[in-house]
Structure formats: C-alpha cells, structure tokens
Structure 1
C-alpha cells in the first residue's frame, strides 16, 4: 500500500455515495427505535452485515494475508471502533438527543481525523489550508442544522446522550487511522473480520443489557435488514477501500455531506421544509472541501 493518498474520480464518487447512504441512516434508526430497543438494533444491524460480508468473503476464498500479532490486534481495534462501539453509542444516544446534534457530532469526525493523521499517518500532513478547510466545512454543517443542533430535548439523560454521540464520532476517527496504518491486506477480508469481532461484542452486550428481544414484525425486520445490508455491509466495503487508497482525511469529508443529504431526503421523503440556510451552508461546505483537497482536485482536473 502506498503511503501517499491516491485520490481519483472514483474516490470522489465513492464519498458522494457514502454521504447519500449515511444521510438517510439516522431517519431509519429512529424508525427502528419505535419498535426495537437500541442495543438490539445495533446487534441486528451488525449481525445482518456480518453474515452478508462473510458469505462474500467465503465465496472469494477467505483471503486475508495477515501474519503478525500486532496486525491482528489492530483488526480487533478496528472491529470495536468502527462498528461495535459507535453502533451501540448512536442507537442509545439518539433516544435522548436531537437528530441535529447527532449530525453535528458526525461532522466532527473530520476535525478529529486531521490532527490524528498528522502524527500517525504518513503523507497526511496537518497544514494551515487543510485546517482552515475542515473548520469552514464544519461551520457550514452547524449553520445548516441551525438551532436544532443544540436544542435541548429536556431528557434527564441528554448530556450522556450527547457524550455517546461524540464518543461514536471519536470511534470512527480512531478506526479510520488504525485501518489506514494496517499492512497490505485483502480488502474483502478487512471488511469482514472487524465485523465479526464487532458482532462478538454487540450481540452479548445487547442480550445482557436488554434480554431477549421480541420477535420483530415484518416492517421492523425490513428496517433492520436495510440497516445491516446497505449502510453497514455495503458501505463498509466502500469505506475500507476509500480509507486504504485515498486516506482517512479524504474519507472524513463524507461526514460533511451526511447532514446535507439528511435535509434533502427529509424534504423529499417527509415533505419537510428546506432550511433557508441551505445555499449558504452548501457554499461553505464546498469551500471547505476545496481548501482541504485543493491538490487532489487540481490533479483530477488536470488529468481530465
């Protein structure tokens, strides 16, 4: 694997697709919370994803190419920090915070990834331009969400819910760094093995904390299957590829798109009014992306 990020047109299309998919995930989780407890939602989500990923990995010969104990330890960390912990934290936290605060928390992933990458990932230097770009983009997200970002729900557990959402953001940041630092490894195996480790944690925790769940109705089962197959299994394959090729800082730009897609999907699916700040927010986010990825954009357009 090259130390320098390799950002191509497919990389840009990939993070656009990831932003779109994850932009609708909060809405789907909230629908699932109407009939399922939070940890079992996380367990079902990662369970469906693990089964599908293992089937694909088995068909392709179960390649991995990892030999050192240190690399296996890193894979366990990726499994915990990329799926097990954030899935449980978000499912639990969304009971007590606004979806707007959860959106801002996910946007903060980019701000966390940049300094971590500077010290831990070769070729990902923390420059003034990148720092300014990520800050401008984050401001765009906060303006887009508006007052809903920090409006109180009145819940006694709201503070803990907010900490849970921020903890999920920190998990995603750490897992991206650790995944990028892994030695050469089969990408399908890299998507599959952490999900297995994550399942081994989430499912027992769900059982211990919430007991056996009631048999879900067909609507809930479809929601859980969607969460497992699309924003978890499918997106996980794509996330692994982007991090391993284009780097964690580039991947973190997906988190700035998630609130935009969430707002647009809310208007399209739920007939919600578009906020007046949409255009300004979009301009700030695009400016932030341009500043952060100026070199990659220049190379992309020069090739074309």
Structure 2
C-alpha cells in the first residue's frame, strides 16, 4: 500500500507550485540590487531566523526520541542538499547555460526521485505506470520551455554549468528521500534546522566568493524579506509536511507545476506573451500527474476501491 495521500496534500503541492513559480519574478527584481550568493544567503538566513523564532515557541523540540548518529548525519544531509547545495549551484550554473535549461533540470527532480525512492523508501516502489506518468509530465515541461533549452550557448563553462544545475536537482531528490526516512520529528523544527544548516554553509561561501555583505537599498531589502518568508520559510515548511505525509514521489509533482506558474506570472505581471505551447504542455503535465497518481486519485474519489 502506498503512502496515504490526503486532499490537503494536493492543496499543499498546488500552493508550493504556485509559490515557487512566482519566485523567479521576485528573484529577478532582487538581483538588480544584490549579488547571487548574497541573495541566497539572505533568503536562507532570514528564513532560518523566522522559523527558529516559531520553533522556540515549541521549546526547540525536534526528534521525539534521542537521535542516533545516523539520524543526525541524515539531518545534516537534508539541510545541505535541500538548501545550500541547490541555491549555490543554480546561482552559479545559470550564468553559463541557456535560461530554459535550469527549468528543465528542476523538472528532472521527479525522474531522479523515482529510482531513489524505489530502493530507499518503503511503499514507493517504481512501476511502469509511475515512470510513464513522470516521463509524460517531464516532456510537458520541455514542450513549455522549448527545445532551445538544450541548445548550446557557446560558453566554455556551459558543460560545467549544466552539471551544476543537474547536481542541484539531484540534491533536491536526495534530500526528499532522506527526509522521508527520518524518524518521528517536529515539522517546524525540521524546517528550521534545514535552514540553519543551509545558513552555516551559504554565508561563509558568499564571503569567500563575493566578498563582504553588499549595501542594499530599501526596495531590495523588502524583496529579500519577501523571498525569505514566503518561498523559502513558508514553502520549506509545506515541503516538509508533504514529504513526511505523502512521500518524496508525490512531492516531486511540484517540479512540473513551477514552469507553468512562472510563465503565467510572467504574462500577468511582466506582459510577457503566453507561449502557444502552454495548452499542450499543460495537458501533458496534467496527464502525467493523473497517470502517475492514478491509484491515489481512485482511493480519494472511490474510498471502497482497493486498486493500487
């Protein structure tokens, strides 16, 4: 029997997709007043402070029982692979690859989660239906972004940039599977700890790579606070709740939504033209989701059904 996916889990991944889809718009505005690594540091650092404040009200409770060394190492891995690693690699890699390639690499998270979850997460076995569903969803993202995402930019560091983007995707996949395998843990404490761990990695790296903290104007600071509170702190808490409840495979469906929302927000707020491929891409993505989650949907709408 697979994980018990509830209607609220569907609502949370919908909110996550919409939130992260709008992040690109806000982040592009913030980058006008701050460098990439310091932007990542501000996002994670402010989010860590916010979540730690909420966590303090719960008495800094984390694990329900004393964690083993292995559990502690898993927690460190989740913190690094879900925040520090992808934030830094994407910031660096996007300088050298076609703009659409990063979007395609993020959509690959779902395909990377499948084999990892098959071997490491009970009740998340890979089967042909799941694989086809995720593959169709991934193809929908490629159709939306355009096959030019795979065209060469001619930059000598392009290959390294592509490896960085794909490694960031692998980081998200590894952290999702590892998070699911943690023992019983307070979700707010887990969300806060991942941000605190990420801060300890990203801030020193920003100092080394980009120098001292740059001066920022009030507009940039406001955008950084918005990025920290909504798509970083708030979304990370939702991510923890979804993974712990419904599993990493279900959580990875968010990756297919993000490009769609990014295109929609770009059209609404930046007057960017909607691509003609949007309807086709959306049909493919929704079809992929339906196929990969067919058993879950049947159980939701037919409680007496015993189909897997």
Is 2:45 aligned against 1:58?
Answer: no
Aligned residues: 302
- Is 35-44 or 7-16 further displaced after alignment? 35-44
Q: Are the equivalent residues in 1 in contact too, given 2:25–2:265 (CA < 8 A)?
A: no
Is 2:26 aligned against 1:48?
Answer: no
CA distance, structure 1, for counterparts of residue 206 and residue 187 of structure 2: 29
Deviation of the 1:78 alpha carbon = 0.4
- Is 192-201 or 33-42 further displaced after alignment? 33-42
- Is 177-186 or 63-72 further displaced after alignment? 63-72
CA distance, structure 1, for counterparts of residue 283 and residue 8 of structure 2: 23
CA distance, structure 1, for counterparts of residue 296 and residue 178 of structure 2: 23
Aligned 1:3-82 pairs, distance under 5 A: 4-65=2-63, 66-82=66-82
How large is the Cα RMSD of the aligned pairs? Answer: 1.5
Is 2:226 aligned against 1:220?
Answer: no
- Is 150-159 or 106-115 further displaced after alignment? 150-159
CA distance, structure 1, for counterparts of residue 116 and residue 70 of structure 2: 20
TM-score, length basis structure 1: 0.95
Aligned 1:131-142 pairs, distance under 5 A: 131-142=131-142
CA distance, structure 2, for counterparts of residue 248 and residue 279 of structure 1: 27
Measured at CA, do residues 202 and 25 of structure 1 come closer, stay the same or move farther in structure 2, by a change above 3 Å? Answer: same
Note the residue ranges of structure 2 that are not aligned, 5 or more in a row. none
Measured at CA, do residues 19 and 196 of structure 1 come closer, stay the same or move farther in structure 2, by a change above 3 Å? Answer: same
Deviation of the 1:90 alpha carbon = 1.4
CA distance, structure 2, for counterparts of residue 205 and residue 113 of structure 1: 28
Note the residue ranges of structure 1 that are not aligned, 5 or more in a row. none
CA distance, structure 1, for counterparts of residue 132 and residue 302 of structure 2: 24
Report the counterpart of residue 145 of structure 1 in structure 2. Answer: 145
Measured at CA, do residues 261 and 148 of structure 1 come closer, stay the same or move farther in structure 2, by a change above 3 Å? Answer: farther
Report the counterpart of residue 275 of structure 1 in structure 2. Answer: 275
- Residues 30-87 of structure 1 deviation map (CA, whole Å, 9 limit, x = unaligned): 3233232221111111001100000000012211124211111110000000001111
